[in-house]
Structure 1
Amino acid sequence: MSSAESDVQLQDFANIFSLKGKVAVVSGGSRGLGLHAASGLLQAGCSKVFITSRKAKACEEAVAALNALPNKEPGAKAYSVPADSSKVPEIERLVKEVEKHTDHVDILFANAGATWGSEFDKTDEKNGWDRVMDLNVKGVFFTIQKFAPLLAKKSSVADPSRVIVTGSVAGIGVGSIGEVGAYSYAASKAAVLHLARNLAIELGPRHILVNGIAPGFFMSKMAAVLMEKGGGEEALGKANPNGRVGKPEDIAAAVVFLSSRASGHVNGDTIILDGGKLLGSNRLEKL
């Protein structure tokens, strides 16, 4: 075999994004970005996808919609496991519920999050700070910690398990200030992305890869008010170098990539999903 012939040989490249048979857990999965991702995980081949969020009804509705998808693998199923990811006992209960259906987890999308917007001088401790930090940072850490044994159960150098955390461009650049100041949200998203970098080094030797995503504006219930104050979806899209805001497929594809064999050498990284807005806002104009 010549050098060129050898160089073009790629291992099962046609299926490099396939998640066939994988087991996934998605926190904050009952709506928005988490539900987009859960849909992508199922359609990419996952056999089991566990959806968790605080509200049982929302979880059940999400699971019903996921199980109605026509292009899942035969026998693939979504499960509803309501839990409050800001509380460690609830996370421990979540793990036990998941263990009733599987002896391992391949993919953990730690996506549960909350925000709070108010003027700097009116930000209060309980709702404006503690609630956001407890869910966005503490909850993410302990969700990963409690699921680590299941994630390590079948992981290997050749087939590592994956953890993906949801950050935000607000945790990289400056987020919302003024009357809709989201100070705790921005701080929490900077913290969780750096937490992912630390855990990538801690868990890498256990064959668990940890990465983050940092979305910009995606239309969701949580972002709707802020997007409206920013001029609406169309105006915000025009402010992006690629001319639009995020779509559900953008989140789903990024999560599938980070969960698949395609990202087998990606660890401790952050994928920014904002169409170039963060870079464009920092460009140097000609004098």
Structure 2
Amino acid sequence: MEDHKIEDFSSLFSLKGKVAVVTGGSRGLGLTAASALLQAGCSKVIISSRKASACDAATKTLNALPNLPHGSQAISVPADSATIEGVQALLAGVRKHTDHVDILLANAGATWGEAFDTHPDSAIAKVLDLNVRAVFNTVRLFAPLLQARASVADPSRVLITASVAGLGIGTLGKQATFGYSASKAAVIHLGRNLAVEMGPRHVTVNSICPGFFPTKMSVGLLEISGGQSKIAESNPMKRLGKPEDIAGIVVYLSSRAGSHVNGEAIAVDGGSMWVRGELAAAGDSHL
């Protein structure tokens, strides 16, 4: 064995010819990920979310990117993956465009902020249904497409959008996100179970755990927490997440470079969760 030799390094991060499905792909981190998958070489990236108009707008934006590889295209397949019927509809829509899926990004998610004493059961149910139950149903129903051309040398990939809130303590106080934090912890552990189940089928399963990114979902929480500037300053890297940060981890895990990573939960937060831990230990009541 030649320890110094890397097979075809120039294509190590290439996704040439791959087919990807991104739930919750019409905005935010999902749209960023979809853009990265396309630009890294995917031939098809199927965008799904509840609203057809949002999916259509996203695919129009993606297909207008100036540096797409020849033949690459984004495709709109709207569906509500919060229900089993919605996941079934998504699968049927995807089958109209492909007989296999190489990359499945389970990104659709929801959050809810409210104080402990008034936190409604309906909010907990909604968040857990979309952030955990829907992920399981999506992976289970898409398993045949994921396995269709997967192999030891070239496994298919499942990426789950989790959160650092599932690795540590999330937001408490007046806008506490109990369901969100619990759901992200649950989906990380679900991912580990799926990784062991799906590994022998030549499918890897990993979770991406973002910290604060200035997306539509997080902008309200950022303001409640003191504003973007304050949160950025408290980060060891002195900034919030950028699109490139998500693009990089998505392409890495989806490419040959990440083919032996399985069952992991990778934080993309600049190290902020460790600062939170230090401040909490010191008795900071604002965390």
> Does residue 198 of the first structure (1) align with residue 223 of the second (2)?
no
How many residue pairs get aligned? The number is: 281
- Matches of 1:268 and 1:231, distance apart in 2: 34
> Which residue number corresponds to residue 3 of structure 2?
7
Q: Residue 108 of structure 1: which of 70, 85, 104 is its match?
A: 104
> Which residue number corresponds to residue 166 of structure 1?
161
> Does residue 60 of the first structure (1) align with residue 64 of the second (2)?
no
- Matches of 1:123 and 1:231, distance apart in 2: 22
- Matches of 2:228 and 2:60, distance apart in 1: 29
Shift of 1:283: 3.9
- Matches of 1:93 and 1:124, distance apart in 2: 29
Q: Residue 281 of structure 1: which of 257, 276, 281 is its match?
A: 276
> Which residue number corresponds to residue 175 of structure 1?
170
Q: Residue 149 of structure 1: which of 124, 132, 144 is its match?
A: 144
Letter in 2 for 1:199: L
Shift of 1:282: 2.6
> Does residue 138 of the first structure (1) align with residue 133 of the second (2)?
yes
Letter in 2 for 1:26: V
> Which residue number corresponds to residue 215 of structure 1?
210
> Which residue number corresponds to residue 45 of structure 1?
41
The DSSP-based 3-state class of the residue aligned with 1:281 is helix
TM-score (normalised: structure 2): 0.96
- Matches of 2:50 and 2:221, distance apart in 1: 23
> Which residue number corresponds to residue 27 of structure 1?
23
Letter in 2 for 1:185: Y
Q: Residue 90 of structure 1: which of 86, 90, 111 is its match?
A: 86
- Matches of 2:245 and 2:81, distance apart in 1: 25
**Aligned ranges 1:184-263 → 2 under 5 Å:** 184-263=179-258
- Could you report, residue by residue, the CA deviation over 1:92-125 in whole angstroms, capped at 9, with x for unpaired residues? 1111111111110000000000000001111111
Letter in 2 for 1:49: V
- Matches of 1:58 and 1:100, distance apart in 2: 20
Letter in 2 for 1:28: G
- Matches of 2:4 and 2:164, distance apart in 1: 37
Shift of 1:134: 0.7
> Which residue number corresponds to residue 129 of structure 1?
124
Letter in 2 for 1:167: A
Extract unaligned runs of 5+ from structure 2.
283-287
Letter in 2 for 1:227: L
The DSSP-based 3-state class of the residue aligned with 1:78 is strand
TM-score (normalised: structure 1): 0.96
Shift of 1:262: 0.3
Letter in 2 for 1:164: L
Letter in 1 for 2:126: R
The DSSP-based 3-state class of the residue aligned with 1:272 is strand
The DSSP-based 3-state class of the residue aligned with 2:206 is strand
- Matches of 1:9 and 1:204, distance apart in 2: 26
- Matches of 2:4 and 2:124, distance apart in 1: 53
Shift of 1:8: 2.3
- Matches of 1:268 and 1:7, distance apart in 2: 26
- Matches of 1:70 and 1:269, distance apart in 2: 34
The DSSP-based 3-state class of the residue aligned with 1:282 is helix
> Which residue number corresponds to residue 77 of structure 1?
73
Shift of 1:133: 0.7
- Matches of 2:5 and 2:168, distance apart in 1: 41
Shift of 1:16: 0.3
- Matches of 2:228 and 2:7, distance apart in 1: 42
- Matches of 1:55 and 1:179, distance apart in 2: 30
Shift of 1:9: 1.8
